Amino acid sequence: MEKILSKGYGASGSLIGGKTLELMQFERNEPKPDEVLIEVLYCGVCHSDLHQVNNDWKNTIYPCVPGHEIIGKISSTGAAVSNFKVGDIVGVGCMIDSCKTCAACNDGEEQFCEGPHGQTMTYNGYWKPDPEFNTFGGYSNNIVAQEKFVMRIPESLDIKSAAPILCAGVTTYSPLKHFGVKPGHQVGVIGIGGLGHMAIKIAKAMGASVTAITTKEEKRNAALELGADQVIISENKDEMETAAAAFDFLLATIPYPFDVNDYIPLLRRRGAIVTVGLLGPYKAPTNNMEVAKLSTTVGGSLIGGTVETQEVLDFCAAHGISPDVQLIDIAEINDAFEKVKDEEVRFRYVIDMSTLKGE
């Protein structure tokens, strides 16, 4: 198969200990008949990029070129592609392919692909890692994706800020939709960062009354500006006790281990708390006595499939929702990683990938 020589910023090993992302060259396969080649225009910086680059999940394949919130322009199409043409502005999220034949894939929930290797991630290869197979993400000049995993970008969305919808947007939209959030519901969003700020906007657009729950007093005004109806500082015992049994649904977007038992008492009878920011164990085991008292649910949610990804793009366009982003040059990516780690970004960095051309 013919190869495409690509360039981007990636890691040859964990950044812990002083390494940085650096400019590198790598090869991609030419598009198959059902694939497209995309020139990357903008790429969001997700906290998952830091986790993967640093091998926090113990599955990273190096070299690792991150980036799974991609807005780009189609450069070429395979002979069997029918839904897109050269020049179309499109998006790619966390996946670029799957088996496409299992029950999950047929339902448009490719994030649960039951094929032999699971879904093909936008970077780091298959969901079930194979050291012999790697994929490279959007911190690069181009990317190849299977047609089904390419999203149409509504014209009303600003392509400079829309990229985070492809991960942060669908990751929060999917559980809000699945658990039936609707007008009249009381929703709490725990953690007001890249995911949390999108969750506030989406839940408000669904008609819910939304409370932002954060450890940081300095985020109170920012959360209100995003549309939250009220704010709880989780380290304030009185505020937490006042909110006992107040919520139908809690969405936890915290990207590091935390104690879910701190939040279970906030749920109403048969309410649910769903974690989307943490891929790993809670800091402490779930107290099932507290869960049973009001028949509440503690669950998790994994990104979203192609159907929901297109849905959330259209939903955001229809409701005038845009991520709050800071546009950066690719040369600023290592500083951006440090600021994401230290929670100093408001609320999502997006890389202008045109700045890679001069590298």
Residue positions counted in the chain: 359
Q: Which CATH number belongs to the domain containing residue 68 in this structure?
A: 3.90.180.10
Cα gap 50→63, rounded to integer Å = 14
The arithmetic mean of pLDDT across residues 15-24, rounded, is 92
In this structure, are 131 and 279 located in the same domain? Answer: no
Q: What is the pLDDT of residues 264-298, one digit of tens each?
A: 999 999 999 999 988 889 999 999 999 999 999 99
Query: What distances in angstroms separate CA 303 from CA 43, 278, 335, one per listed residue?
Result: 17, 12, 26
DSSP strand pairing (35-45 vs 348-352): antiparallel
The arithmetic mean of pLDDT across residues 332-359, rounded, is 94
Is residue 313 assigned to a domain?
no
Angle at 33 between CA 29 and CA 36, to 5 degrees: 65
Predicted confidence band of residue 159 (pLDDT cuts 50, 70, 90): very high
Q: What is the pLDDT of residues 206-248, one digit of tens each?
A: 999 999 999 988 889 999 999 999 999 999 999 999 999 999 9
pLDDT at 306: 98
Cα gap 351→331, rounded to integer Å = 9
Q: What is the pLDDT of residues 134-154, one digit of tens each?
A: 999 999 999 999 999 999 999
Predicted confidence band of residue 346 (pLDDT cuts 50, 70, 90): confident
In this structure, are 136 and 214 located in the same domain? Answer: no
pLDDT at 17: 81
Q: What is the pLDDT of residues 64-121, one digit of tens each?
A: 999 999 999 999 999 999 999 999 999 999 999 999 999 999 999 999 999 999 999 9
Q: How many domains does the chain have?
A: 2
**Res 316 pLDDT > 80:** yes
In this structure, are 246 and 341 located in the same domain? Answer: no
Cα gap 147→149, rounded to integer Å = 5
Domain range enclosing 210:
168-300
